[in-house]
Structure 1
Amino acid sequence: MTTLSANDVELAARAADNFTHLYYSTYDSATRVDDLPNFYRPTSSLTWNGKPFQGSDGVRELVGAMPPTRHEVQCFDCHPIPGSQPPNLLITVSGTVAYGRRPPGNSKSVDDQPRAFSQTFMLVPDPTAPPSKAGEVAKYYVNADALRFVG
């Protein structure tokens, strides 16, 4: 069994921070239908409020059918999983998401109001990415993703 060093934990935390910022800014962008699937592979699984989707095509199908989003990440946590080098990462995210084009607070519609969510990602090292240099964050892709509204 591979053990984790303090450096592994620090690099995992940096990777999670980078991933979280990039993922949600991409999700909320005008180009998300084209760009968000790049975080996934054909074998990736996604469960959105109990509904399963498969791979980058499933992600494209899901986000293509929803109105624009505005995510606000309130917190995230990262757990590196021993067994590979670099380690797989289990990331949990909590926050709110609003759907629609209006700024928050300017509408009485329930569709435009922020909803609390919890999302869990399993990131695995991307074998097609060039090797990371010492002290550099590894390149990852989403192997599994589960989102649930909480409230």
Structure 2
Amino acid sequence: MSEYGSIARSFVSHYYGVFDDTNARSTLSSLYRQESCLVWEGQPYQGPESIMAALSQTSLNNVKTRVTTTDPVPTSNSGVLVVATGSLVVDDAYDKPLKFSSTFLLQPIPGQPGGYFIEGQIFRLVHE
């Protein structure tokens, strides 16, 4: 299981590092395929173009993410299911961090050892 933990931590660190950089965020599109699905706060999106439109919302221009937990489990076909939790700060409102839960279903990229794409993703803010 430790290999899955390493994959999950590396992936989540990369994903949110790029997500937090508005100039680089568009490069996340390479992690999605036409069959990829995202559910963002209950709203479904499919395919890289639709997903990137959702991730490029102007309300998310200035975001800083802090991941506190990353839990992986292996799935069929050598995939990895990853649940990450943490908080994010929008527009430097450090006194009002928002808690979140994010789930990724990663699948191996054929012909690219160690490479994964996001088959499914769910993002939800946790309201208290």
Same fold (TM over 0.5): yes
Please report how far the alpha carbon of residue 103 of structure 1 lies from its aligned counterpart in structure 2 after TM superposition: 5.9
Q: Equivalent residue of 1:29, what SS?
A: coil
For the pair 1:20 / 2:3, whether they are aligned, the reply is no
Unmatched segments (≥5 aa) in structure 2: none
C-alpha separation between the residues in 1 aligned to 2:82 and 2:12?
A: 9
TM-score scaled by structure 1?
Answer: 0.76
For the pair 1:143 / 2:126, whether they are aligned, the reply is no
How does 1:1-150 map onto structure 2 within 5 Å? 9-65=1-57, 66-81=60-75, 83-84=76-77, 87-100=78-91, 102=92, 104-105=94-95, 113-129=96-112, 132=113, 138-150=114-126
C-alpha separation between the residues in 2 aligned to 1:127 and 1:95?
A: 31
Runs of 4+, deviation exceeding 2 Å: 30-33
Q: How many residues align?
A: 125
Please report how far the alpha carbon of residue 76 of structure 1 lies from its aligned counterpart in structure 2 after TM superposition: 0.9
TM-score scaled by structure 2?
Answer: 0.89
- Asked if the contact 2:102/2:122 (under 8 Å) is kept, the reply is yes
Q: Report what 1:4 is aligned to.
A: none
- Asked if the contact 1:125/1:140 (under 8 Å) is kept, the reply is yes
Go from structure 1 to structure 2 and tell me whether the alpha carbon gap of 1:10 and 1:56 turns closer, same or farther (over 3 Å shift). same
Which structure has greater strand proportion?
2
C-alpha separation between the residues in 2 aligned to 1:38 and 1:31?
A: 15
C-alpha separation between the residues in 2 aligned to 1:31 and 1:127?
A: 29
Q: Deviations over 1:105-124 (max 9, x none)?
A: 4xxxxxxx211001111000
After superposition, the CA RMSD in angstroms is: 1.5
Unmatched segments (≥5 aa) in structure 1: 1-8, 106-112, 133-137
Q: Deviations over 1:37-93 (max 9, x none)?
A: 121112100000101111211222012223221110011100011x32xx1100000
Sequence identity of aligned pairs in percent? Answer: 25
Q: Equivalent residue of 1:104, what SS?
A: coil
